[in-house]
Amino acid sequence: MCHPSFFFVIFFYSVLRFTEGHSLPSYITPCNRSDTNIHKCVESNIKKIRPHLKEGIPDLFIPSLDPLVIPPTCVNEEDQVKVTFTDIHIYHADDFNLNRFDIDLKNHEVNITINFPYLRIKSTYNVNGKFLVVTFDEQGPADGNYTNFNVHLTLKGSPYIEKEQEHLKWEKKNISIAIEHSHVVLEKLFGNHTDIADKTNKVINDNIDVIINDLQPLIENVVGHFIFGIVNELFSKYSVKELFA
C-alpha cells in the first residue's frame, strides 16, 4: 500500500547536463536552461527513455521500474495496531502519462502531474497489536491494484553557495494523489479462517478511500526518502552551473 512517488526522480535526470567526464546516454538530448520551451525538451527526453525504464538506466541512476523495489515501511507505527509492509514490489510504473511538467529554473520550482493507468503493488504485510479485545499477530501476502493513479507534486529549490558555486537543495512544497479505483487483498489474514478474512478484506475495500487518505503522511515520507535524498545528493555534488546548460 506504499506508492511510487520515487518515480519522479527520473524527470530531474532527464534535464541534466553532466560535467565533463560524465556522459548522458546517446538517446538523451540535454536541455538548455534558457529555452522557453524547456518542458517540451523534457517531454521529448521522457519519450526517449521510456523503452529503457523497465530494465533501468544505470547511467542516470534510474533503477528498474517494473518492478520497482522499495524498502519496508510502517503504517500506524505509534497506534495500538502496527502494520508493516516489506518486500514491496511496484509493477507497471514504467507505463505512465505525463499530464503536466512545468519547470521554472529562475524561481527554482517544478510542478509535475502524472497518471499511471494501472499499478499493482505486491508486498508482505505484518499486523501486530490489539484492537478492542482482539490481539493481532498476522503475516501474509498483500496485493493491491490501482486504476488511474494520479499524482501531483510541487518542488521548491533553495539556492546556497559552496566553494563559490551555487547549489540547490530541493524540498517538497505540495503533493496530492487521486485514485479512480483501488482494490487490496490481505491473504492469510486470520490464518485458515477464510470467512473472517474475506469479511475483513471487504471492510477494507469498502473504506479504501478513507484508508488512502489516512496514508497521506506515509506517502510524503516515502517521497522524502526516495526523491529528495537522491536528488539532493546529486545537487550537493554538482553546482547548478555544472548541471544545467
How do beta strands 165-186 and 97-104 pair? unpaired
- Specify the number of domains making up the chain: 1
Q: What is the chain's pLDDT, residue by residue, as a tens digit (245 residues)?
A: 444 444 455 555 554 444 444 455 677 776 777 777 777 777 787 888 888 888 887 766 677 888 988 888 877 655 677 888 899 998 998 888 888 878 787 888 888 888 999 999 999 999 888 765 567 788 999 999 999 988 888 889 899 999 888 888 888 888 888 889 999 999 988 777 888 889 888 988 998 888 877 777 676 666 556 666 666 776 777 777 766 66
Would you state the pLDDT for residue 3?
41
> What is the pTM assigned to this prediction?
0.77
Q: Give the SS3 label for residue 244.
A: coil
Would you state the pLDDT for residue 4?
41
d(CA 45, CA 37): 13
Radius of gyration (Cα) for the chain, nearest Å? 20
Half-sphere exposure of 170 (CA within 13 A, CB side): 28
What are the cell numbers at 73?
515501511
Contact 108, 231 (CB under 8 A): no
* Amino acid present at 6: F
CATH number of domain containing 86: 3.15.10.30
Note down the domain range covering 102: 5-243
Alpha-carbon torsion 66, 68, 27, 97, what sign? positive
CA angle 196, 200, 205 (to 5 degrees): 150
Would you state the pLDDT for residue 43?
79
Q: Give the SS3 label for residue 193.
A: coil
d(CA 80, CA 136): 10
Would you state the pLDDT for residue 76?
64
d(CA 140, CA 187): 6
Would you state the pLDDT for residue 2?
41
